[in-house]
Amino acid sequence: MSSIARHELAAPPQSIRKVAVASLAGTALEWYDFFLYGTASALVFGPLFFPGASSLAGTLASFGTFAVGFAARPLGGIVFGHFGDRLGRKPMLVITLLVMGVATFLIGALPTYAQIGVWAPILLVLLRVLQGIAVGGEWGGGVLMITERAPEGRRGYYSAWSQVGINLGFVTSAGVFAAVQTMSDEAFLSWGWRIPFLLGAVPALVGLIIRLKIEESPEFRTVENEGNKQRLPILHALRTHPRSILIAAGARMAENGGSYVFLVFSLAYGKHIGVDSGLLLTGIIVANVVEGASMVGFGALSDRIGRRPVYMAGAATLVVFAFPFFWFVDTGTPALVWLAFIIALGIGHGAMIGTQPSFFTELFGQSSRYSAISLGHELASVFAGGLSPLIATALLAATNSSWPISLYLVVLGCITLVAVYCSRETVQRETPPAPARRLQTADTHDYR
């Protein structure tokens, strides 16, 4: 398809800006709910739902329930990806937000172990599974609503805005948690920790209103109008794009695994070595604000020089900074702690996650893209993000040192470097709506 035709099919600038803002807001509101659990796992769920264990053992059990949510994410990706390819992106984004909001509110109302015994952690796990299913179906749809209408040559820039919503969600959740932590320990453990979760009902309602107002993806409409929907999109994706799915999963190992070491485990690590959790939360918040800007810059840079070099630079930063990160945190010096998070998140993680939406979108054809992009994205969530705080805590408990955790980060970074190196540059591969006779060709080619 010619460049002129591509521009004719792209949404007008005003339209793409509106969708970018809507995607950013909806993603922020949904990830606010999801990130609350990670912060609470590090700071409060251990003594409330797993009493009687030592501090590290309780945290380990709490991170185990945290990992359950990630185990459920591929299920959400498969289910919502299927219906997203069959019925459209918009309705799936509305449903995932509703499920997330209800689950988060119920966690805030959940009785503790002291009140209902073993049922407390069981119900906590079940609600975490619902959160995982919801967020597993959220990312792919939120990204595609932008990438599938972005103008030629600007996909990296515009799609990076959807990732800013993730940062905004974390900043908001961390800020609310930091505020309630100013209470006395007794009040915080009694009822204060519930406030951030109960407030989750408010962003869910706001996000629902926002998402009901956005229009369906034009590329999905093209597939729908031309009758090129797949009966079982996930099987079509596995048959036509197996290598690309594995590349996407491998590319996420450093991004996803590293981020949850920095965002979640670091709070437990600081508590273990005696660094004030308020200082760490503040450092994380500042780094996320910096990253919100840097990832848009990295996304725009990938439009100019390619997805692969930007993504690989982010993974290389994680490898190089894996040991210095903990050295800086160990000092307890505010300036060094903040610098540690800014380099790890604002530069290393920002380069990867800012490039990720456009890179992953361009790996797959249109008719099974929601399923393919969700599966590749969420497979890594199980083996990287969900397990990384658990693995890091186990390594800390076994060695009482940070060096094995740094080594673990190096391994994750190397996996991502290899995966992205084995892919081909996608920035010059446009994926516009195409005539039926060409669409099938695009969808059956394994881009690599």
The string of pLDDT tens digits covering residues 157-168 is: 988 888 888 888
Please check whether residue 406 is in contact with residue 322, taking contact to mean a CB–CB distance below 8 angstroms.
yes
- The letter for the amino acid at 173 is S
Q: How far, CA to CA in Å, does 276 sit from each of 187, 266, 333, 339?
A: 19, 11, 10, 16
CA distance 334 to 313: 27
**Which residues touch 206 (CB under 8 Å, ≥6 apart)?**
25, 29
Residue 448 domain flag: no
Q: Is the pTM of this model over 0.95?
A: no
What is the phi/psi pair of residue 216, to 5°?
Answer: -65, 155
Residue 330 domain flag: yes
How many CA atoms, within 13 angstroms, populate the side-chain half-sphere of residue 193? 23
Residue 404 domain flag: yes
Tell me the pLDDT band of 228, cut-offs 50, 70 and 90: confident
Please check whether residue 434 is in contact with residue 442, taking contact to mean a CB–CB distance below 8 angstroms.
yes
Residue with tokens 């994205």: 377
Residue with tokens 């361009």: 362
Give 304: exposed, middle or buried? Use CB within 10 Å, 0-12, 13-18, 19+.
Answer: exposed
Q: How far, CA to CA in Å, does 76 sit from each of 51, 104, 132, 139, 348?
A: 31, 16, 7, 10, 28
Residue 338 domain flag: yes
Please check whether residue 362 is in contact with residue 72, taking contact to mean a CB–CB distance below 8 angstroms.
no
The conformation of residue 52, written as its DSSP 8-state character, comes to T
CA nearest neighbour of 171 among 267, 289, 283, 277: 289
Tens digits of residue pLDDT in 136-155: 888 888 888 888 888 878 88
Residue 196 domain flag: yes
Q: Which domain does 13 fall in, by range?
A: 3-443
Domains in the chain: how many in total?
1
Specify which of 69-78, 81-90, 309-318, 424-433 reaches the highest per-range mean pLDDT.
309-318
Residue 258 domain flag: yes
Tens digits of residue pLDDT in 351-370: 999 999 999 988 887 778 88
Please check whether residue 302 is in contact with residue 156, taking contact to mean a CB–CB distance below 8 angstroms.
yes
**Torsional sign, CA 192, 194, 195, 196:** positive
Q: Which of 61-65, 77-81, 278-282, 442-446 has the lowest mean pLDDT?
A: 442-446
Specify which of 143-152, 193-202, 236-245 reaches the highest per-range mean pLDDT.
236-245
Give 375: exposed, middle or buried? Use CB within 10 Å, 0-12, 13-18, 19+.
Answer: buried
How many CA atoms, within 13 angstroms, populate the side-chain half-sphere of residue 130? 18
Q: Does residue 259 or residue 446 have the better pLDDT? A: 259
Q: Which CATH number fits the domain that encloses residue 66? A: 1.20.1250.20
CA nearest neighbour of 362 among 371, 373, 377, 354: 373
What percentage of the chain reaches a pLDDT higher than 70?
88
CA nearest neighbour of 389 among 67, 126, 129, 131: 67
3-class SS of residue 132: helix
CA distance 126 to 111: 14
CA distance 356 to 319: 18
Tell me the pLDDT band of 231, cut-offs 50, 70 and 90: confident
